[in-house]
Amino acid sequence: MPVYQDCQRCTACCRWPGQVRLSEAEITRIAAFLQLSEHEFIQRYTRLQQDRRGLALQEKSDGACVLLHGDLCTIQPVKPQQCRDFPNLWKYPDAEKYCRAIPREVSADEYVRLVSAATQRTPEEVREILRHESQKL
Ligand code: SF4
């Protein structure tokens, strides 16, 4: 049975080291949500990705995402796909040490429905990703 990871909004993953990559469409959407021009948003909140092939969100000095205020993601309705995909479409070692998501065995159909809702991907997209990454379904 597939195991759905039910996020508890602890925000631990928003504080891990790493980078949140941004697509052009995400920059447009997030800037509009923050009522900034794209130029202002880029100047204020982004940096070059490590491979210099695009932009990523900046981090605060403690490593937390620049757009995390207290325990709140300030761009929750328009957050990047990379954030939406976590934890169910990510593979990461020792996940349970860091992530407080509650694992729940569900049917294959329910799994696709839940992951689709959490990630805002279509069920077809979710099935395609899972087909590539594992034999979960
Ligand atoms: S995905 Fe895990 S680490 Fe991130 S907020 Fe949810 S429970 Fe916490």
- Residue range 7-36, pLDDT digits in tens: 999 999 999 888 999 999 999 999 999 999
pLDDT of residue 132: 84
- Measured in angstroms, how far is the CA atom of residue 47 from the centroid of ligand 1? 24
Say what the pLDDT of residue 134 is.
64
Edge-to-edge strand ranges of the sheet holding 21-22: 21-22, 55-57, 46-48
Residue-level pLDDT at 103 = 94
Is any ligand 1 atom within 6 A of the Cβ of residue 9? yes
Q: How far is CA 120 from the centre of its chain?
A: 11
Which regions of the chain are under pLDDT 70?
A: 134-137
Hey, what are 63's tokens?
A: 């490593």
Answer whether 107's CB lies under 8 Å from 101's CB: no
Burial class (CB in 10 A: 0-12, 13-18, 19+), 101: buried
Ligand 1 geometric centre to CA of 127 (Å): 22
pLDDT of residue 68: 97
Residue 13, ligand 1, Cβ within 6 A: yes
Give the pLDDT confidence score for residue 137 in this predicted structure: 47
d(CA 39, CA 28): 10
Q: Is the CB of 99 under 6 A from ligand 1?
A: yes
- Of 11, 1, 13, 4, which is closest to residue 102 (Cα–Cα)? 4
Q: Is 10 in the pocket of ligand 1 (CB under 6 A)?
A: yes
Under 8 Å between Cβ of 27 and 75? no
What does the DSSP 8-state code read for residue 3?
E
Distance of CA 71 to CAs 15, 45, 58, 96, Å? 10, 18, 17, 20
| Interval between CA 49 and ligand 1 midpoint (Å) | 23
